[in-house]
Chain A
Amino acid sequence: MTRLHIDWTACDGRGLCAELLPELLAEDDWGYPMARDGSPSPTVPPALEPNAQRAVDRCPALALHLTREAERPSAPTR
């Protein structure tokens, strides 16, 4: 599963990511990105991964990262 991590110490709210990834990100009133699903690190569906990568590459503040986590099986039950 791929997630889009926003580094808030780096983000400068230039607005490129919300343009490149409008499916996942919207701009708040001050131009900072806001995940549409309200989560701090939105999940990136496979179909949107190329666009997410583009947003990561273009971010002028290098504030975006894609993190890939292995799909974990559900917690074992006792």
Chain B
Amino acid sequence: MTDALWYFARGSGVVALVLLTVVVALGIGARSGRTAFGLPRFAVSLLHRNAALLAVVFLVLHVVSLLFDPYAQLRLFDVVLPFVGNYRPVWQGLGTLGFDLMVAIVVTSLLRHRIGARAWRAVHWLAYLCWPVALLHGLGTGSDNGTAWLWTVSMICVAVVLAAVAWRLTPNFTRFPHRAERKVAPRLRPLEEVR
């Protein structure tokens, strides 16, 4: 029974990483303003959001199961305070850091209409930090860090995200590449803040 928690924590962690990879790829894809997989733009955006919320569910399961696991001996503050753990503090700390970033990104997204687009976007950029942190945490910590299957899963995730980022950086990424960049006159910026 005690082993079950440990296996469950490992499994849910990997599922969360795979889901986060899908979320990052969909988020980048949605930014292009294009339809994808026969889905309209709003459906791509909803899929991005719902996959992220599902990733949060698996992340919470991952953390909660480790809280009760007799080997991991995760203390309550290890969940939010990185790099102070008893067990492989650096690799575990990366997980804590990723969790904190994820909480920040999700909470600001849910409160997007209250905090405004600029603050939301600034925090949302942290996704580019959160994902590699989660990946490194998975590769470095736990019992699966040397296994071929975890490396295979991780490398597929890396390939997906790198491909999405590479596409993002191409000049023809957006739907209307020749459209002028949106610029807001400085005197209108205060109005944007109010929005």
Contacts and interface: CB of A to CB of B under 8 A. Distances in A.
A38 B179 CA distance: 23
Dominant secondary structure at the A interface: loop
B42 A19 contact: yes
A20 B40 CA distance: 9
A45 interface: no
B117 A62 contact: yes
B175 A62 contact: no
Interface in B12-67: 30-31, 33, 40-42, 45-46
Contacts of B31: 60
A14 interface: yes
B40 A31 contact: no
Nearest to A56: B113
A49 interface: no
Given A9-B191, A10-B192, A62-B113, A15 B33 contact: yes
Interface residues of A, number: 18
B42 A31 contact: no
Dominant secondary structure at the B interface: helix
Nearest to A61: B117
B46 A10 contact: no
Given A31-B179, A62-B113, A16 B42 contact: yes
A13 interface: yes
B195 A31 contact: no
B184 interface: yes
A51 B117 CA distance: 21
B176 A31 contact: yes
Contact of A62 (B33, B116, B182, B184): B116
Interface of A: 7, 9-10, 12-16, 19-20, 30-31, 54, 57-58, 60-62
Given A16-B45, A58-B42, 8 more contacts: A7-B195, A10-B117, A30-B176, A31-B176, A31-B179, A57-B113, A62-B112, A62-B116
